[in-house]
Amino acid sequence: MHRISYLGTSVDITGGDGMPEILGWGRYGAQRAEADKNADSYRGGLPPAVASSHPPIGLFAEESLGFPAMPGVSGHRADGTGWSPRFRRTEERISEASASFVLDDEVAGLQIVTTITVAAGAVVTIDAVLTNTGDTPYTLATLAPSLPVPAAASEVLTLSGRWTMEFQMDRRPFIKKTVVENRRGRTSHEAAPAIFVGTEGFAESDGHVWGAQLAWSGNFRVTADRLSDGRCYLQLGELLLPGEVSLAPGEAYDMPQMIATCSDNGLTAASGRFLSFHRQAVRPRELGPRPVNLNTWEAVYFDHDLQTLLDLADAAADVGAERFVLDDGWFGGRRGETAGLGDWFVSPDAWPTGLKPLIDRVTGHGMVFGIWFEPEMVNPDSDLYRLHPDWTLTTDGYEPILARHQLVLDFGRPEVRANMFDQIDAILSNHDIGYVKWDYNRNIVQGSDATGRAGVRRHVLGLYELLDDLREKHPQVEWESCASGGARIDMGVLARTDRVWTSDSNDAADRQLIQRGASLLIPPEIMGSHIGPPTSHTTGRTHSLGFRAATALFGHLGIEWNVLTMTEEDRVALREVVALYKTHRRLLHTGVPVRLDHPDPSIVAHGVVDADLTEGLFSVASVHTRAGSALTPLVIPWLSNEKTYRVEPLLIGGEVPGKDFHPPSWFDGGGEMTGAFLGGNGLPLPVFWPERALLIRVTEV
């Protein structure tokens, strides 16, 4: 048996000449029994009327050895052969932190080269390339690795949702199989390519948790399964549409990377390893202090009047914004949502003097100018579509399905990518632009490429290639991944972008839940979170500035509010919020994000602490009306038991969380408490009204 390990995380892998099987993985202590190095230590007993051995849950589970569920490799040749391969290990390379294997099936004419690594952040990664070594084409249906989890895992957590309510934590008993499938063509609002399982009642700071995610921006299948013999495993892979991958002799399929994490002290620690992996290994560049964005969309929509936007730039600078992003409506015939997508030139109708006057005003204030694109989309009412109607992901013989009056361009075609590169490059080369908001506002439906085959995979790979090319040409530009909000947030696109737009909803009550779920997968410094207007345009709900600001602070702060129309009182308070963010953004964006448990379901609590446990900033929010009048204390287990801390409220605009005749003593001017007290008894809380938040600063005395 082979063992690889790094920073306390180990993986045990079978030896021999067959398909590697991961027997166990996790954070093993030095006292681990010597007998566990023997593969037989992992094997349970066998009941009558079964095969003489458990069918292995191989790294790529094999139907040919009796595996009873979805195999790790499936496909076939035109004559039906090759459908049930059985691989032999022909080469292996084992180092301290990684294991690579060459697996061959000469009968099926297939080879897999796969690597298991314990990587930065103490996560386990699995990569693989499958090559057709036969002499006829091979149609691949599945290539998905399996990772065992202990039978003690009794609950499963996935992330589900919809537009403007993404990343909702969906938790249920882990009794049988849980499958999450995405067929939207993009990562989707409805599901994230991730799954967690844990021991009964696992919480943010308690219990054993195992999780995995897929670095892929297209269709996927995520599974947590409990076999009839009690063994449990996670299986993640790209969901390939029929005939989507047909490998000619010698051609290869490179699967999306699977990334796994585990923890013996709760969900926050497990997901924190995902965040650490992103910061250390995935992030495309080092990020400086995250500038305050002002996005124009909810201020002007499609009404691009130069004087209004000049005034908006002045007002943005006045409240402390550091980046000004011009949203949809600046290009081609784009005076509304029905036309212009695909024609990426500055509209002479909307901008008769060009963008330069606005850019000069923005940069004159010391702000960075940003701009909106939606390069993957085309309106039928556009010059590009009239010239190249065949460039879309549609299927000949069928009426195309429109959504938002638009179709999806086929980025799997080199000529389409070249056209988009040239158009975007011209805008970026001829203007002082430091930021691009890259949007993607519809799903792929019946998306065939030029050959008539399903084209989702090639489109996603084409997107990656185009982003890589543009980043290389314009290294000064930061890139945001937006897809009607959070419909494309995954480790695949995050390797090429510097920020995500977490949701199209700026409703603070909904955002508390959206951002909590998203924080399982992404760190706060790339999580776009904006202060919207008092009344949300997606829910019609009205919230105080204090609640909206406290919600938006725990991400990459922005403003999506017409600062020209706000009251002077709001303007003063907004300046205070921006200043507060600038004071604390080093902590917010380099510290350790934590989520806090609270028994009241109306309370959402979270925060960030620095690596030395000398300071922390926390938020407690009441997202709806509760049954009880008082709240139980907030337990904060992420501080040092040996230190004493000063605890004080940070009130935005003097706004208190509720009407409280007898607030706790620390609420008036601060107080001192030990870390042991905060992590044991917890911090006594004041009375909260619904849809109010409280910021709490904790500093070592």
Q: Which residues are catalytic?
A: 439, 504
Cross-strand pairs, 377: 408
Residues with Cβ within 8 Å of residue 473, at least 6 apart in sequence: 425, 428
Residues with Cβ within 8 Å of residue 425, at least 6 apart in sequence: 470, 473, 474
d(CA 608, CA 592): 5
For every residue of 642-665, which 3-state class applies, written as one string?
Answer: CCEEEEEEECHHHCCCCCCCCCCH
d(CA 314, CA 363): 11
d(CA 411, CA 342): 13
Instruction: Find the DSSP H helices in 304-433.
Output: 306-319, 356-364, 383-387, 414-430
Residues with Cβ within 8 Å of residue 569, at least 6 apart in sequence: 653
Using left for φ > 0, alpha for ψ between -120 and 50, and beta otherwise, residue 277 falls in alpha
> Shortest CA distance to 22 belongs to which of 231, 175, 200?
231
Supply the DSSP symbol for 403: B
CB 440 within 8 A of CB 484: yes
Whole-Å CA distances, 556 to 287, 444, 648, 657: 12, 29, 23, 23
CB 358 within 8 A of CB 365: no
CA-based R_g, the chain, Å: 27
Q: How far apart are the first and last CA of the chain?
A: 51
**Position 681: which residue type?**
N
For every residue of 39-103, which 3-state class applies, written as one string?
Answer: HHHHCCCCCCCCCCCCCCCCCCCCHHHCCCCCCCEEEEECCCCCCCCCCEEEEEEECCCEEEEEE
Residue 566 tokens read as: 């706000």
**What values do phi and psi take at 296, rounded to 5?**
-85, -10
Residues with Cβ within 8 Å of residue 363, at least 6 apart in sequence: 369, 432
CB 544 within 8 A of CB 652: no
CB 223 within 8 A of CB 178: yes
d(CA 155, CA 210): 11
Residue with token string 């085959």: 453
d(CA 333, CA 327): 15
> Shortest CA distance to 4 belongs to which of 103, 122, 88?
122
d(CA 103, CA 28): 28
Supply the DSSP symbol for 350: T
